[in-house]
Amino acid sequence: MTPLQLEQVSLQLGSRRLLDDIQLEVAAGELVILLGPNGCGKSTLLQAIAGERRHTGQIRLFGQTRAQWAAPRLARRLAVLPQHSDLRFDFPAESVVALGRLPWPGPRQAQATIIRRCMEQMDVWALRQAPYLQLSGGERQRVHLARVLCQLADEEPGLLLLDEPTSALDPGHQHQVLQQIQAVARRGHGVLMVLHDLNLASRYADRLVLMQQGRLLAEGSAEAILTVDHLARLYGPGPELWHHPLTGRPLVV
Ligand SMILES: Nc1ncnc2c1ncn2[C@@H]1O[C@H](COP(=O)(O)OP(=O)(O)OP(=O)(O)O)[C@@H](O)[C@H]1O
């Protein structure tokens, strides 16, 4: 069953159309990256998919509309990392990650194993006892990533929505995190992720989607999408395109 299908999704606020007739699918096993300038509607789109914004048109998650999903079942299939995850409680990092396991009752030891695995994947296991509020911005972001990763189980395909998950990370952790997110997709989950870094998007996406002023402008492979014409249209004049010597993928300068 296809994790995500959008048909004619629009969202109007007063006289402003924040989303305009969006058609989009994310297949199981696919990592789709959404690109576009500030304010074009990327977060709004993710929020609409997450059920947080009223919209017209249809959004299907694994073939069912939101109204057809019981919330506890959907919580095992849909995991969302918003652009900002504000948390004021001074829990140990491990307890923050454990929040992701709330939809899953189960033996304590099995839960602990999954939590540890996700924290290791996000390189925060060594920080497990650190109070959340004492963590750095990048450490907090990786703790929240571990939390959403451990919300999905590999027995049932899920959908992962990630809004700029690497915005606070150093280059080494950006690659580590994106490799893990790619591995999540390879295990059969659908992933829809917002990124601003064009070269990370070029390297990791199975498909890129360009957004401009609430509309989808183009979608396809990195080679098809990262063109001088598209980039100049979205971000202004000046981009140069090279090719990565090892991967052959577009490299934006
Ligand atoms: N509740 C709201 N009321 C009024 N305008 C809103 C509201 N929510 C979003 N907007 C506007 O909708 C537009 C799209 O916002 P959105 O956060 O989706 O952009 P974005 O593409 O994610 O941008 P960024 O790259 O800066 O994160 C923005 O111009 C924003 O000001």
Q: How far apart are CA 129 and CA 93, in angstroms?
A: 6
104: pLDDT confidence band, cut at 50, 70 and 90? very high
10: pLDDT confidence band, cut at 50, 70 and 90? very high
Torsion on CA atoms 140, 143, 145, 147, rounded to nearest 10: -130
2: pLDDT confidence band, cut at 50, 70 and 90? very high
**Do residues 77 and 26 touch, judged by C-beta distance below 8 A?**
no
Map out the domains of the chain with their CATH numbers.
1-77+160-253 (3.40.50.300), 87-151 (no CATH)
Residue 59's DSSP bridge partners are 6
Count how many residues are written for the chain: 253
Kindly state if the Cβ of 46 falls inside 6 Å of ligand 1.
Answer: no
Query: Quick one: average pLDDT of 150-168?
Result: 93
Query: Quick one: average pLDDT of 161-175?
Result: 96
**Do residues 23 and 6 touch, judged by C-beta distance below 8 A?**
yes
pLDDT at residue 183 greater than cutoff 90: yes
Q: How far is CA 113 from CA 108, 121, 233, in A?
A: 9, 12, 47
Quote the ligand 1 centre to 156 CA distance (angstroms): 33
Kindly state if the Cβ of 47 falls inside 6 Å of ligand 1.
Answer: no
Q: What are the structure tokens assigned to 107, written together?
A: 């033996």
Q: Whose CA is nearest to atom 28 of ligand 1?
A: 39
Q: How far apart are CA 33 and CA 159, in angstroms?
A: 13
Using a CB cutoff of 8 Å and minimum separation of 24, what contacts does 237-246 make?
A: 244/202, 244/203
Q: What does the pLDDT look like over 107-139, one tens digit per residue?
A: 889 999 999 999 999 999 999 999 999 999 999
245: pLDDT confidence band, cut at 50, 70 and 90? confident
Is the ipTM of this structure higher than 0.85?
yes
Torsion on CA atoms 206, 161, 42, 238, rounded to nearest 10: -40
Query: Quick one: average pLDDT of 200-219?
Result: 97
Q: What are the structure tokens assigned to 250, written together?
A: 């577009």
